[in-house]
A = this chain, B = another copy of it.
Amino acid sequence: MDATAIVEGLALTARSAARTLVASSGDTRRQALRAIAAALENRSDEILTANNLDMQRAKDESMHPQMQDRLLLTRERITGMANGARQVADLEDPLGRILKKSTLPNGLELEQISVPFGVIGMVYEARPNVTVDAAVILLMSGNAALLRGSSTADASNKILIEVMRSALATTTISPDVLQLVPSDERATVKALLTARGKVDLVIPRGSASLIRMVVDEATVPTIETGAGVCHVYIDAAADLAKALPIVLNSKTHRPSVCNAAETVLVHRSVAEKFLPTLLASLHSAGVVLHVDPAVEAVAKTLDIDVTQATTENWGTEYGVLEMNVGIVDSLESAIDHIATFGTQHTEAIVTEDKESARKFVAMSDCAAVMVNASTRFTDGEQMGFGAEIGISNQKLHARGPMGLEAMTTTTWVVTGTGQIRS
């Protein structure tokens, strides 16, 4: 059987099963999530055994240690996933919200209500926790899930799906709303991305090459979750005592994630005062520095090794302890720089001047803009969503961290008493 037939078959089964989700109350979905949480904990031995198979193969194939760490499940991590499911079960039901309501002059009652998408595909890498996290969010938002993980996590994903499906079997929700898409061949990703009309939405989570493939090949609507080349701009009116911890936190708190900062831009009028402390602090935090010529001159006086930043540097998402530092002549120059090199993810300004903040917010054209705060706050958990299925890097539908609400669409319900158009 070819990949297209397999994926379309799974999508059809999932769509039919999704009717049990559409018909379900919030309480039924909550109960299902709690059943999943319990099942994950009760069957953790089986899960760990399966994960051990994946880990063994990963070691045999000399997988990068960081990737091995992402693949690894432990009893503690399983409890973490279970508690994540319980946390989502405690959130407000994203379905049936009345987003708009009005009565038209002809007496028609108009309501816009939130409804599920239907069938949502996820494409992701060797992180088995995503299998559970995504399934839980999609179930709570009333969607069937086609989960396409990585073949390197296949044993883990299979048991996790099996455990979740058996938990669903104790509820009125059909277990068929959860489907694992075979990961033994790359073609199933393509099949998922082109199952137009069968799959309502695909969300890719992963490398730049995966995202690029999605953009190029998808005919199904997708939400891009992508790269973050985030900036911190230190304004002329910055409180420098705030600026230093914000830059350090934005860069060093967790350099591998998309909301970490890659570049700091310092207004010329505070550069002399701020740069020595900034460079010394970044340097002692182990950050490799790529700088413009003016910053290089300052670094030299401090005996700090730096390299001149190239055009490529300014546009790079390092993901590690490397950072670009530049001086700008004005807020407008900072905005121009960000427009050129940013990825419309998160931009931060440090300033005590409200007008500068207002202008930066208006002009920075990104998913999230921070005023006097670390870029690391672009995060569903931090923003109080309770759960996050990814951070959208596009402007269509959802922008920034996506929680339950982002996994819903709407229907207009028009209720009349026989109205026709004249």
Complex interface bits, A359-393 against B, C-beta within 8 A gives 1, otherwise 0: 00111011111111110111000111000000000
Cβ contacts under 8 Å, A382 to chain B: 104, 421
Cβ contacts under 8 Å, A373 to chain B: 108, 414-416, 418-420
Nearest B residue to A239 via CB reads: B418
User: How far is B414's CA from A118's CA once the two chains are assembled, in angstroms?
Assistant: 32
Contact indicator B418/A395 (Cβ below 8 Å): no
A181 smallest CB distance to B (angstroms)? 20
Contact indicator A399/B410 (Cβ below 8 Å): yes
Contact indicator B420/A376 (Cβ below 8 Å): yes
Given contacts A221-B394, A377-B414, 20 further A-B contacts (CB under 8 A): A23-B362, A104-B383, A108-B377, A200-B395, A223-B396, A245-B420, A357-B415, A367-B412, A371-B416, A372-B416, A372-B417, A373-B416, A373-B420, A374-B420, A374-B421, A376-B421, A377-B421, A378-B414, A399-B409, A399-B411
6 A-B pairs whose Cβ atoms sit less than 8 Å apart in the complex: A117-B395, A221-B394, A368-B414, A382-B421, A399-B411, A400-B411
User: How far is B281's CA from A238's CA once the two chains are assembled, in angstroms?
Assistant: 75
A31 smallest CB distance to B (angstroms)? 19
Interface of A is mostly: mixed
User: How far is B223's CA from A373's CA once the two chains are assembled, in angstroms?
Assistant: 35
Q: Which residues in A have some Cβ–Cβ distance to B below 8 Å?
A: 19, 22-23, 102, 104, 108, 110, 115, 117-118, 196, 200-201, 215-216, 219, 221, 223, 239, 241-242, 245-246, 248-250, 253, 357, 361-363, 365-374, 376-378, 382-384, 394-397, 399-401, 409-421
A349 smallest CB distance to B (angstroms)? 10
Nearest B residue to A259 via CB reads: B421
A278 smallest CB distance to B (angstroms)? 15
Contact indicator B110/A369 (Cβ below 8 Å): no
Q: Name which of A219, A241, A368, A420 has the most chain B CB atoms within 10 A of its CB.
A: A420
Of B368, B370, B409, B412, the residue contacting A383 (CB under 8 A) is B412
Cβ contacts under 8 Å, A395 to chain B: 117-118, 200-201, 221, 409
A10 smallest CB distance to B (angstroms)? 17
Cβ contacts under 8 Å, A394 to chain B: 221
Of B118, B248, B253, B371, the residue contacting A365 (CB under 8 A) is B118
Contact indicator A413/B361 (Cβ below 8 Å): yes
Nearest B residue to A350 via CB reads: B418
User: How far is B219's CA from A362's CA once the two chains are assembled, in angstroms?
Assistant: 27
User: How far is B414's CA from A396's CA once the two chains are assembled, in angstroms?
Assistant: 21
User: How far is B417's CA from A239's CA once the two chains are assembled, in angstroms?
Assistant: 10
Contact indicator B371/A415 (Cβ below 8 Å): yes
- Which 9 pairs between the two chains have the least Cβ-Cβ distance? A373-B416, A249-B420, A242-B418, A397-B397, A395-B409, A368-B412, A221-B396, A376-B421, A374-B420
